[in-house]
């Protein structure tokens, strides 16, 4: 595959990055070119929401002019990706040339530490071990955290080296939400914009601020070589006791959150950065943290439909590239305590069939306590695969997880056609976002 299908990747980023800094916060929304209107995104979500929702306007920061969110809010989509039919045809052609091992590898997105046998601590450069394992496992992507990101030159060079090791182009992902979850913006050495928590933007009721955040973040991280942002947060902050989401969410009002989510997606896409809305089916109502252990929502299905699903429907309507599924349980919906990330009813029954989403489904980190306390690495990835997920984010043990999927296909437990479904979705996103060329 390396000889027949090696794609040109961003290996020369570092030289360009050292000459340009990230833009300062405050780019005028009037500088954004308006492409097309998508009124139906909000109208459709409102039509499915129970009446009586509290839409009280919240006071916004004095420095921002507010505009009310109305049911005719106009959402702008920019920089349309490759035509769907064209991307599908290209993906099909690529898929036909892939081995089973290569296809399985596309379904894994890991940290560099998971594939580095040499470094003690955070990886800050590519080395032979990382290069070897990117190729050995045919990885689909890498996610970076604060410890990996020191300065602009180091980050750009490292990402370019990761990409040069891959035959198919890597997702290079990061959590750059703004506020407390800003792996890049909080580091002054990166000379990038640090936006406030999204709740502060949501409180303005001015959707152009959400677009501006997405557009600025997208432009700045793409300059460094990132092509995937695990954002925006599509949760609805309905539980005051919730500390894991809290002000990371745009609003406690699902309609406001929906409008903001759609606009931030458009801003990211304007810079060819893939979006991943999170944390389906909605983590804003929980009172416990799935990072540390079992977490559940008390919502029944009607409650999810009228509240939690509203921003996700808007995000899907806006063309999000991925939906990240959380590890929270919803016993009033599924009748059990299975995490959503491992639940066929949640992923296939609700996200895909009811909400009509046919894009990439990625799990939240499979190293979180809600998973590791109850499942082995191989059990988690196989359950997630059977539930309908396409990408496994940070499984506890890469080798064990990769081999579990590979062996399940080879022994007939899982049909190869199931792997093909996921890889087709993954490849189409990579084509649309110019990760493959």
pLDDT tens profile 340-379: 999 999 999 999 999 999 999 999 999 999 999 999 999 9
Given pLDDT bands bounded at 50, 70 and 90, which one contains residue 252? very high
| Predicted pLDDT of residue 283 | 86
Q: What average pLDDT does this structure show over 132-159?
A: 99
- Summary count for the chain: helices (H), strands (E): 17, 12
Q: How far apart are CA 185 and CA 173, in angstroms?
A: 15
Residue 44 has pLDDT above 70, yes or no: no
Higher pLDDT, 273 or 245: 273
| Predicted pLDDT of residue 37 | 35
Higher pLDDT, 379 or 27: 379
Q: How far apart are CA 289 and CA 293, in angstroms?
A: 7
Round the average pLDDT of the chain to a whole number and report it: 85
The strand pairing partners of 77, in sequence order, are 36
Residue 300 has pLDDT above 60, yes or no: yes
By three-state DSSP, how is residue 309 classified? helix
Q: What average pLDDT does this structure show over 38-47?
A: 44
| Predicted pLDDT of residue 341 | 98
Omega prior to 281 cis, within 30 of 0: yes
Residue whose token pair is 């921002």:
64
Given pLDDT bands bounded at 50, 70 and 90, which one contains residue 288? low
Total Cβ atoms within 10 A of residue 92 = 13
Q: How far apart are CA 173 and CA 149, in angstroms?
A: 12
Q: What average pLDDT does this structure show over 36-41?
A: 41
Given pLDDT bands bounded at 50, 70 and 90, which one contains residue 284? confident
Given pLDDT bands bounded at 50, 70 and 90, which one contains residue 295? confident
What DSSP assignment string belongs to 141-168? EEEE-GGG---HHHHHHHHHHHHHT-SS
Residue whose token pair is 């530490």:
113
272 burial class (0-12, 13-18, 19+ CB within 10 angstroms)? middle
Task: Give the catalytic positions in this structure.
Answer: 291, 364
Question: Which of 4-18, 193-207, 313-327 comes out lowest in average pLDDT?
Answer: 4-18
Q: What average pLDDT does this structure show over 74-100?
A: 78
pLDDT tens profile 337-350: 999 999 999 999 99
List the one residue out of 392, 412, 429 whose CA is nearest residue 100: 412
Q: What average pLDDT does this structure show over 372-400?
A: 98
Q: Is the separation of the CB atoms in 171 and 435 below 8 Å?
A: yes
Q: Is the separation of the CB atoms in 204 and 64 below 8 Å?
A: yes
Residue 175 has pLDDT above 70, yes or no: yes
Q: Enter the tokens of residue 67.
A: 């505009």
Report the run of H or E that residue 94 belongs to, with start and end: helix 84-96
What lies within 8 Å, CB to CB, of 101 at 6+ separation is: 138, 406
Residue 17 has pLDDT above 70, yes or no: no
pTM of the entire structure? 0.83
Q: What average pLDDT does this structure show over 151-173?
A: 98
| Predicted pLDDT of residue 67 | 42
The strand pairing partners of 278, in sequence order, are 233
> Which CATH superfamily hosts domain 70-432?
Glycoside hydrolase, family 3, N-terminal domain (3.20.20.300)
Q: How far apart are CA 281 and CA 297, in angstroms?
A: 9
Given pLDDT bands bounded at 50, 70 and 90, which one contains residue 5? very low
Quote the Cα angle for 97-100-106, to 5°. Answer: 85
């Amino acid at each position: 595959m390396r000889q027949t299908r090696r794609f040109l990747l961003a290996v020369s980023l570092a030289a360009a990055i050292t000459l340009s800094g990230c833009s300062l916060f405050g780019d005028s929304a009037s500088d954004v070119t308006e492409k097309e209107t998508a009124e139906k995104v909000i109208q459709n979500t409102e039509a499915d929401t129970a009446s009586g929702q509290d839409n009280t306007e919240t006071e916004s920061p004095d420095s921002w002019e507010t505009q009310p969110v109305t049911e005719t809010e106009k959402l702008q989509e920019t920089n349309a990706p490759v035509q769907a039919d064209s991307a599908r045809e290209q993906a099909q052609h690529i898929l036909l040339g892939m081995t089973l091992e290569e296809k399985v590898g596309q379904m894994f997105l890991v940290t560099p530490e998971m594939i580095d046998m040499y470094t003690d601590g955070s990886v800050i450069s590519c080395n032979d071990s990382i290069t070897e394992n990117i190729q050995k496992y045919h990885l689909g992507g890498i996610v970076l955290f604060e410890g990996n990101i020191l300065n602009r030159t180091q980050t750009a060079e490292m990402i370019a080296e990761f990409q040069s090791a891959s035959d198919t182009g890597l997702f290079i992902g990061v959590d750059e939400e703004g506020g407390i979850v800003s792996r890049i913006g909080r580091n002054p050495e990166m000379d990038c914009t640090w936006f406030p928590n999204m709740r502060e933007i949501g409180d303005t009721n001015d959707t152009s601020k959400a677009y501006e955040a997405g557009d600025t973040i997208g432009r700045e991280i793409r300059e460094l070589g990132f092509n995937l942002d695990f954002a925006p947060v599509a949760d609805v902050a309905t539980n005051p006791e919730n500390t894991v989401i809290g002000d990371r969410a745009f609003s406690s009002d699902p309609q406001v959150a929906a409008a903001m989510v759609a606009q931030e997606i458009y801003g990211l896409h304007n810079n060819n950065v893939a979006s991943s809305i999170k944390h389906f089916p909605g983590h804003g109502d929980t009172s416990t943290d799935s990072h540390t252990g079992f977490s559940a929502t008390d919502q029944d299905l009607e409650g999810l439909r009228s509240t939690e699903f509203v921003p996700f429907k808007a995000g899907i309507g806006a063309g999000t590239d991925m939906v990240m599924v959380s590890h929270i349980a919803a016993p009033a919906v599924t009748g059990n305590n299975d995490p959503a990330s491992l639940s066929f009813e949640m992923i296939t029954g609700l996200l895909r069939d009811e909400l009509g989403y046919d894009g990439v489904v990625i799990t939240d980190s499979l190293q979180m306590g809600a998973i590791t306390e109850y499942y082995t690495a191989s059990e988690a990835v196989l359950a997630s695969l059977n539930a309908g997920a396409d990408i496994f984010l940070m499984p506890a043990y890469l080798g064990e997880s990769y081999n579990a999927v590979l062996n399940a296909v080879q022994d007939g437990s899982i049909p190869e056609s199931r792997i093909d479904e996921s890889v087709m979705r993954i490849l189409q996103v990579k084509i649309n976002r110019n990760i493959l060329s």
